[in-house]
Amino acid sequence: MEPVDIRRDTETYCNLMNAYLLAQVAELDATLQQNGIEDQGIRKSICAQFGMSMGQVFDMGWIGVSGERFHPLLMFSEKYLDDAATPIGEVGPLEGPTREDDFHAMAVEAVSTFYDDLQGDLARVPYGALDEEL
């Protein structure tokens, strides 16, 4: 098995996780609007409840596949892993979680940031597709 450099720095991971969660909230908000939920208060509540639920799965849960239990683990890399043939070591260092990271609380914080600080403005959330620039 090839070596993988996994960094576990709480501050770096929290910054990455906050950015990831903010992008998720922005996408969920856009989807709710596209499906007729115009009231921002309702959208905010849905996003917070969803974030809390998904956070619980990451913080303390597992999923079952083919009779096996697996624990979700979210990591970040600077390079894109484009296909299964690319060795994982070529992605470069991975930023991984520590036990201090609290996904569900961070998800609720991302909801507050999106709706309160950014006024629900999707254009103010920095994320994009592979072929887009930052």
Q: Show pLDDT as tens, one digit a residue, over the chain (134 residues).
A: 567 889 999 899 999 999 999 999 999 999 999 999 999 999 999 999 999 998 888 888 899 999 999 999 899 998 888 777 778 878 889 999 887 778 888 888 999 999 999 999 988 898 888 778 77
In a domain? residue 63: yes
Q: How many beta carbons lie within 10 A of that of residue 47, not counting itself?
A: 26
In a domain? residue 129: no
In a domain? residue 52: yes
**What's the CA gap between 127 and 8, in Å, rounded?**
23
In a domain? residue 87: no
Q: How many beta carbons lie within 10 A of that of residue 93, not counting itself?
A: 15
In a domain? residue 114: yes
In a domain? residue 25: yes
| Number of compact structural domains in the chain | 1
User: pTM here?
Assistant: 0.85
Q: Which residues constitute the domain of residue 12?
A: 6-80+93-124
In a domain? residue 51: yes
Whether the CB-CB separation of 51 and 107 falls below 8 Å is answered with yes
In a domain? residue 29: yes
Taken in order 96, 100, 103, 107, is the CA torsion positive or negative? negative
